[in-house]
Chains A and B, each alone.
Chain A
Amino acid sequence: MFQIHRVSDSEIRLVGHFDASHQATAAEVFDSIKESCSVRFDELDYVSSAGLSVLLYTQQRLSKDGGALKLTGMNPHVRLVFEYAGFDQIFKIE
């Protein structure tokens, strides 16, 4: 089960298990972001490399206009995946 909620113009909430089968659904929401945005991970159990790629593309697009994603509330397993990928160096994680 995976859900993505656009809480507001500046906040997205991820819920459940974010794998390759949900990449297109998530990309559609992230593609609609036009400026800096907070992404809540506190209800997300899992993210695969497909999920990471959606976040990477969004971060690269936003950075061209000085924007960025801020990622909050990751569980330790997800946080470790970000560290293995070196994504802790290119995202603000709180």
Chain B
Amino acid sequence: MERTFSRSLDSLGDIVSFLKGAADTLSLDEKTRFAVNMAVEELFTNMIKYGKGGDDSIEVGLEKENSRLIIRLVDPNSEPFDLTDLQAVDTSAPLEERRPGGLGIHLVKCLMDEVRYEYKNRVTRIRLVKNI
């Protein structure tokens, strides 16, 4: 299952609807639904904020391979932003030293079993795996 979404935070509502339909079709449990929803929303938002792409839409796809859920996000026209190479978030720092930067990607890494980033010819491809 896949669908493209316009590069705007206003697409988040449509993404939630798409993921709900896909989760129903794939019979995903509540915990997996929540994880998928969060991972896709965080990465989509990141692509809009930091991908500096043009007007091209972003593709989101889901498929089940045995006991693995594969999630793909493709931005066809973007600047490089390797989310697998970011500095780790210090989740034990005192309140006054906390910063929100990088928190979304940190959560994606916590929720997913594999996170892969690929950038070639201005195309960003992110592939996530969630064991189910």
Contacts of B34 in A (CB 8 A): 46, 77
CA distance A53 to B102 in the complex (A): 11
Q: B91 and A85: CB pair below 8 A?
A: yes
Kindly identify which residue among B94, B96, B100, B110 contacts A52, using a CB–CB cutoff of 8 Å.
B100
Kindly identify which residue among B10, B45, B91, B92 contacts A48, using a CB–CB cutoff of 8 Å.
B45
> Which chain A residues numbered 12 to 38 have a C-beta less than 8 Å away from chain B?
17, 19-21
> Which chain B residues numbered 79 to 107 have a C-beta less than 8 Å away from chain A?
89-96, 98, 100, 103-104, 106-107
Main secondary structure of the interface of A (DSSP, over half): helix
Q: B98 and A60: CB pair below 8 A?
A: yes
Contacts of B89 in A (CB 8 A): 85-86
Q: How many residues of A contact B (CB 8 A)?
A: 22
Q: A52 and B95: CB pair below 8 A?
A: no
Contacts of A86 in B (CB 8 A): 89-93
Contacts of A89 in B (CB 8 A): 91-92
Query: Which residues of A are at the interface with B, using a C-beta cutoff of 8 A?
Result: 17, 19-21, 46, 48-50, 52-53, 56-57, 59-60, 63, 77, 81, 84-86, 89-90
